[in-house]
Structure 1
Amino acid sequence: MPKKLFTVFLLIIASSCGIFKPNIPQPKKEFRGVWIATVVNIDWPKNGMDSVEKQKEDYLRILDFYKNLNYNAVIVQVRAAGDAFYNSDYAPWSRFLTGKEGENTKWEDDPLSWMIEQAHIRGLEFHAWLNPYRATFDLNTDILSPNHDYNMNPDWMVKYGTKYYYNPGLPQVQEKLTSIIKELTLTYEIDGIHFDDYFYPYTIKDEVFNDSITFYNCSQPQQSLADWRRSNVDTLIKKSYTAIKDIKPWVSFGVSPFGVWKNKSTDPRGSETQAGQTTYENLYADPLLWMEKGWLDYIAPQIYWSLDLPVASHKTIANWWAKNSENSYVYIGNGAYKVRNNSDQAWEKKKELPNQFKLARQTPEISGNILFSAKSLMDKNQDVVSYLGRKYYKWPALTPEVKNGYEEHLENVNIIGKEQSPDFVTLTLDHKNAIQYVLVYKSSKKNTSELKSKKLLDKIFVPTGSNQVQIPKLVLKRNDFAITFLDRYGRESQPTIIHLNQIPGYGRKR
């Protein structure tokens, strides 16, 4: 066989055997998040009685693990059950952080400010995750602080199953929860506010959620109980969104509803599923309305089933949300906790979770993924972790821009000073916008489209009020490099080429 034909033959064989399988193109902007659950210390802290040093060490371990996997956001539960992981005027300290509810005798610095700062230093967005309506995790009310709403406002509480819940129909509850949103947004440099799927509680057989008196007093004429309950949740969503955007329009507001809106058997608009409960009919939440009204920046349906599970296929539900979303980004919530830990044998396969990422990446309407929960991949299933990193998250990615709200134009950022030391290149900036990051790329032409994520060398946080940034020389691969600026909305400026040999201090020895 001629040498040329033999070479072609080898290429065909290699291709057919999968040796040269092309990777799925990676978008430059893609939300890559992970939920860090604090309720009953699921992910962090490992124990509320741990020392501050131990709690900090464990938190940083989570951040570093996901930073090294090229994730770009953490969603941290800061309100688990009528409590707070920060010094709040509206809720007591969480026992899951301090060891005893309502007391903090060990954290000298503000734990939430520290958590946010550490995330930002690593280039990770910080979304504050709240469970709005769950008041207690169980019926052991003796451990609650005197300042907990169970004790301060017992008429707000509804006992259901083994927990107490805030009554969503009470105007006082709506105002209290809105005040909490305002406090968080005003006080902390968060990038997002996030609600999970717990609105009205999941239905328990033979149990009654006793809000009949509130319904009688607060509902509109001819309004059914179900419609009234949904309107209460609608009101909280609208008030939360408005409060956030009035204070800091660049802060995202997102919700992660239960994966099935409605089954098609009860509504022709529903999905081809047979879910035992639905977000619309059981949790009284209507995220389709919230997207239609523009009250959400993103939605992250929790699709914790395997790709081809007959009663609720991940594939079917992901495609349903993709086709039924508007005005909001869609990020898929993935049940990483099920990997090799579930009766559904599909989760035993190494590629079950990666193939869910593949589906999201191939669906144009889907802009990212969020894993539940943080500990799921940290100490086990290393083959899955490695495959995800190699195949899908090989390069860094930026989070999608915040499009809703009252956006301003990104003005030019001028570099008014440059200086070198043995370890850093220091840039002094003249800017009016709130620049959050400086992005450092391998040298490229002045064309943003050519600054691909695989050329990104570093993402350097610029603290509020600072006009200087230090670029470690260790990350620079050559004498010329490019930088861009990223504002709080996630919008990137045009690149500027920096020439090291033109900066004072060039060639300075250690």
Structure 2
Amino acid sequence: MPRILRILLLCSFLPMAGFAQKTLKRELRGAWIATFTGIDWPNRTQTPAQQRAAFITIADHHKATGMNVLFVQMRSQCDAMYPSDIEPWSADLTGRQGTAPSTPWDPMAFAIEECHKRGMEFHAWLNPYRATSNSANIPNFAENHVTRAHPEWLLSQGILRVLDPGLPEVRDHIMSVITDIVHRYDVDGIHFDDYFYPPSAPAGTTPYNDDTTFAAYPRGFTVKADWRRDNVNLLIRRVYDSIKTIKPWVKFGVSPSGIYRNSTNPAIGTPTSGLEHYTTLFADTRRWLQEGWVDYIMPQVYWWIGQPGANYGAIVPWWNNQANGRHIYIGMAGYKVGDLAQGAAWQDSTQIPRQVRMNRDSVHQNIFGQAVYNTNSLRSNRKNFRDSLRRHFYARPALLPVMQWRDSIAPLAPEGVNAAPLGEHVQLSWSHPGDPADQMNRARQYVIYRSEDPLINTEAVENILALTDTAANTFTDTSALPNTTYYYTVTALDRFHNESMVSNLSANLPPEILCPGDQQLNGDADCSAQIPDYRSLAIISNPTGVTMVQHPAPGSRVQHNSLVHIVAFNAGGKSDTCTFSIQLRDTIAPQISDIALSPAILTVPDNRLHTVNLQYSVTDCSAVSNVISITSNEPDYGAPDWEIVNDHTVKLRATRNPLGNGRFYTITVTSTDASGNTSTAVAQVLVPGNKPWTHGDGLAVTALPNPTFHQFVVVMASKDPQPIMLRVYNNSGALVETRNNITPNSTILLGGSYNAGIYYLEIIQGNKRQILKVMKVGH
């Protein structure tokens, strides 16, 4: 988060009553859950089911407080709060070390799942070196506990036993524990506390002795203090490198005691006089930051502001200046609040609030949050300090600070965000971005922003409505006020809380739909049209999650001008409707069929007008008008050669050029519908001559013998595969016989039953026509 924003989020150092404390967009908000001797959890006398229920209660409490990281102690003295092949079950879980739970279960897997369900990170808190706080208990320890299996690994000081940090096999053992956890569990971090070398021995207690180890593994060191610090350095560096190799998304940090070194020179330490972990515990935490061997340091600054010898107000600024590009978080002493034994300063209800404000001060560019020790203090809420955090400092959710040195690639943005009214609430939904199997870049959680302004400022903390607990892609806004329009956008967070670009904008408004303009459809031959799907032409505001229904449905058929309605529904059942018209357009010309003439041949050229009846059918989607026209292949011979009586009757003159092949009249029927579409059909009447007459290529029918005494052999010669129709007329023009579907190039016998006389054969194949004159002279 840009640190300049912190200037805008500060409050003056005033009592909390009546003042809301603005929060930061990014901040670690943690709590420790101590399992050593059951300080916070679990109660060793409870059943596994009761222990699980107790942890759920704790997790719910921390979630309600506003915490986003829990540091849960899983190894307090070389034992395990989880099933392990390396170290024995913890007595803090079952009452006896090495004894498994009465009902098999995995407390670490359970705690991880419960944290992740609530959107909180789980950091496995491990004490790397402490073997036992009371050597009198060793006879009751499990046989595979290091105090019994490897007593040669121990440093002894009074009743305290710790693993010797100078032994390579000790480092190997600790690494085997850590790598086992990282391999097997979906932890978000590995967390060490302040136990390294033992502190200075109190009066009357023999100090621990590691001379033998120093002599065996000096590694070139001559000053034992430097050698001891390097022993711890070796482990810290190895832990960090191993974690990054196994699971590059798992974080590693240490929470040492609050004072690095006492010095009035800020280049060395702080103006304090307390226990210094650099000199006494041999933990060179500043070097770890300089070398980049940790992701964060969380010093336990368990003192009050202004405390002589250990002033919170002096220690925090010094740590801020040591970050070297890593994070500094501050450990705060919630357990001291309201405890009379801790003095008057801890009876001040503003102590923790003032410390949080100091952590957030804009001058502390590298303080990225804080954690409270311990859980019981938060739950007891002495001096209402937990309520101050919950109501004022942690009132809005916070993203975790990013760790660019570990990962700076943001996940893909969510898609298809939809906000739909759901009763009195607003239901949000969206699509998951990216590959869920990509552990580094998949969406782990989502940030939901809400504003009454469509230009949502995602850096404004007040616009953060919620962080989802998981990667679920739905969220119900139960805080939406009635009759209020809200705009929503969503971003995705990966494991390191890198934030994606924003999604599309959605609002809890009913959809507004704009239909296309009026449309035209071309009718089919059956005088109807199929309605297309017009929904893609509609314009919808806030379209995500909207379903559109069209009436009449796409694919329906209409036979006249109609109205089309498109209804848009959102997920909340709100709808909007638009309407437009479709005009059925007739583009198909009338169809003229079954045209026939009677007679089709004027056999006797008597120069008289003969009535010819014209039969035909016209079909169209609208009314039609028919017009008859006549042409001839020969000119008029002085008097009108034809007369149009009506659209079904004409009169034609039976005359021809005696030297020609015959005269034919072409009668054309022109049909026009109401839309102006026109079609024509023709028929011909022949006044035959003495020679065959043919219209169209490829048809060459012959009749032999001609004349004949008995019958004609008709050869249907044609280059066209279409069937042939034959009509026979007598010399008076009367139809004698019709034959249909004659195969081309076949031979038929004709006229055996005919009387003597002149006959005309009309052969029709498609649009080809031929007229033959034949004569029968006997019967």
TM-score by length of 2: 0.59
Secondary structure of 2:313's partner?
Answer: helix
Q: Deviations over 1:7-51 (max 9, x none)?
A: xxxxxxxx9x99998755422001110111000000011x21211
Question: 1:323: how far off?
Answer: 1.9
Q: Deviations over 1:38-81 (max 9, x none)?
A: 00000011x21211222122212222122112121111101111
Question: 1:265: how far off?
Answer: 6.3
Task: Name 2:502's counterpart in structure 1.
Answer: 495
1:32–1:71 CA contact under 8 A, matched in 2: yes
Task: Name 1:368's counterpart in structure 2.
Answer: 369
Task: Name 1:454's counterpart in structure 2.
Answer: 462
**Residues 239-388 of structure 1: pairs in structure 2 closer than 5 A:** 239-264=238-263, 269-275=268-274, 277-341=275-339, 342-362=341-361, 363-381=364-382, 383-388=384-389
Matching of residue 111 in structure 1 with residue 107 in structure 2: yes
Q: Which moved more, 1:479-488 or 1:385-394?
A: 385-394
Matching residue within 106, 123, 129 for 1:127: 123
Indicate how the Cα distance of structure 1 residues 18 and 469 shifts in structure 2: closer, same or farther if over 3 A, else same.
Answer: closer
Q: Which moved more, 1:151-160 or 1:188-197?
A: 151-160
Q: Which moved more, 1:266-275 or 1:482-491?
A: 266-275
Q: Deviations over 1:373-416 (max 9, x none)?
A: 011121242532223333322221111112333x3623424537
Which of the pair is proportionally richer in helix? 1
1: CA distance between counterparts of 2:352 and 2:155?
38
Q: Deviations over 1:159-182 (max 9, x none)?
A: 222121111111011111112221
Q: Which moved more, 1:426-435 or 1:294-303?
A: 426-435
2: CA distance between counterparts of 1:475 and 1:113?
33
Matching residue within 437, 450, 467 for 1:442: 450
Secondary structure of 1:135's partner?
Answer: strand
1: CA distance between counterparts of 2:99 and 2:240?
31
Indicate how the Cα distance of structure 1 residues 418 and 184 shifts in structure 2: closer, same or farther if over 3 A, else same.
Answer: farther
2: CA distance between counterparts of 1:311 and 1:295?
30
Indicate how the Cα distance of structure 1 residues 380 and 434 shifts in structure 2: closer, same or farther if over 3 A, else same.
Answer: same
1: CA distance between counterparts of 2:98 and 2:301?
35
Matching of residue 196 in structure 1 with residue 193 in structure 2: yes
Indicate how the Cα distance of structure 1 residues 287 and 445 shifts in structure 2: closer, same or farther if over 3 A, else same.
Answer: farther
Task: Name 2:210's counterpart in structure 1.
Answer: 211
2:417–2:506 CA contact under 8 A, matched in 1: no
1:81–1:136 CA contact under 8 A, matched in 2: yes
Indicate how the Cα distance of structure 1 residues 447 and 42 shifts in structure 2: closer, same or farther if over 3 A, else same.
Answer: farther
Q: What amino acid maps onto 1:291 in structure 2?
A: L
Aligned length, in residue pairs: 487
**Residues 467-506 of structure 1: pairs in structure 2 closer than 5 A:** 469-472=473-476, 474=478, 480-496=487-503, 497-499=505-507, 502-503=544-545, 506=571
Matching of residue 507 in structure 1 with residue 544 in structure 2: no
2: CA distance between counterparts of 1:55 and 1:204?
37
Secondary structure of 1:310's partner?
Answer: coil
Task: Name 1:60's counterpart in structure 2.
Answer: 56
Q: Which moved more, 1:354-363 or 1:100-109?
A: 100-109
Aligned residues with identical type, % of pairs: 33
Task: Name 1:187's counterpart in structure 2.
Answer: 184
1:32–1:73 CA contact under 8 A, matched in 2: yes
1: CA distance between counterparts of 2:210 and 2:397?
48
2: CA distance between counterparts of 1:470 and 1:180?
38
Task: Name 2:410's counterpart in structure 1.
Answer: 410
Question: 1:260: how far off?
Answer: 0.9
Q: Deviations over 1:340-395 (max 9, x none)?
A: 21332111111112111111111332111111101112124253222333332222
Task: Name 2:565's counterpart in structure 1.
Answer: none
Matching of residue 102 in structure 1 with residue 98 in structure 2: yes
1:101–1:145 CA contact under 8 A, matched in 2: yes
Task: Name 1:3's counterpart in structure 2.
Answer: none
Give structure 2 stretches of 5+ with no counterpart. 1-11, 436-440, 512-543, 548-569, 575-779
1: CA distance between counterparts of 2:112 and 2:101?
21
1:126–1:192 CA contact under 8 A, matched in 2: yes
Indicate how the Cα distance of structure 1 residues 420 and 50 shifts in structure 2: closer, same or farther if over 3 A, else same.
Answer: farther
Indicate how the Cα distance of structure 1 residues 382 and 237 shifts in structure 2: closer, same or farther if over 3 A, else same.
Answer: same
2: CA distance between counterparts of 1:258 and 1:353?
18
Indicate how the Cα distance of structure 1 residues 413 and 364 shifts in structure 2: closer, same or farther if over 3 A, else same.
Answer: closer
Which has the greater radius of gyration?
Answer: 2
Matching residue within 66, 70, 73 for 1:70: 66
1:73–1:125 CA contact under 8 A, matched in 2: yes
Matching of residue 175 in structure 1 with residue 172 in structure 2: yes
Secondary structure of 1:114's partner?
Answer: helix
Q: What amino acid maps onto 2:261 in structure 1?
A: K
Secondary structure of 1:200's partner?
Answer: coil
1: CA distance between counterparts of 2:573 and 2:44?
49
Indicate how the Cα distance of structure 1 residues 384 and 149 shifts in structure 2: closer, same or farther if over 3 A, else same.
Answer: same
Q: Which moved more, 1:420-429 or 1:203-212?
A: 420-429
1: CA distance between counterparts of 2:61 and 2:433?
35
Q: What amino acid maps onto 1:395 in structure 2?
A: R
Task: Name 1:227's counterpart in structure 2.
Answer: 226
Indicate how the Cα distance of structure 1 residues 193 and 475 shifts in structure 2: closer, same or farther if over 3 A, else same.
Answer: farther
Question: 1:256: how far off?
Answer: 0.7
Q: What amino acid maps onto 1:138 in structure 2?
A: N
1:78–1:86 CA contact under 8 A, matched in 2: yes
2: CA distance between counterparts of 1:300 and 1:164?
25
1:135–1:166 CA contact under 8 A, matched in 2: yes
Indicate how the Cα distance of structure 1 residues 411 and 436 shifts in structure 2: closer, same or farther if over 3 A, else same.
Answer: closer
Q: What amino acid maps onto 2:571 in structure 1?
A: Y
RMSD over aligned Cα, in angstroms? 2.8
2: CA distance between counterparts of 1:360 and 1:414?
33
Indicate how the Cα distance of structure 1 residues 272 and 19 shifts in structure 2: closer, same or farther if over 3 A, else same.
Answer: closer
Indicate how the Cα distance of structure 1 residues 87 and 368 shifts in structure 2: closer, same or farther if over 3 A, else same.
Answer: same
2:44–2:94 CA contact under 8 A, matched in 1: yes
2:411–2:493 CA contact under 8 A, matched in 1: no
2: CA distance between counterparts of 1:19 and 1:54?
37
Indicate how the Cα distance of structure 1 residues 116 and 445 shifts in structure 2: closer, same or farther if over 3 A, else same.
Answer: farther
Question: 1:131: how far off?
Answer: 0.3
Give structure 1 stretches of 5+ with no counterpart. 1-14
2:447–2:493 CA contact under 8 A, matched in 1: yes
Q: What amino acid maps onto 2:402 in structure 1?
A: E
Task: Name 1:429's counterpart in structure 2.
Answer: 432
1:48–1:96 CA contact under 8 A, matched in 2: yes
Which of the pair is proportionally richer in strand? 2
Q: What amino acid maps onto 1:219 in structure 2?
A: P
2:72–2:124 CA contact under 8 A, matched in 1: yes
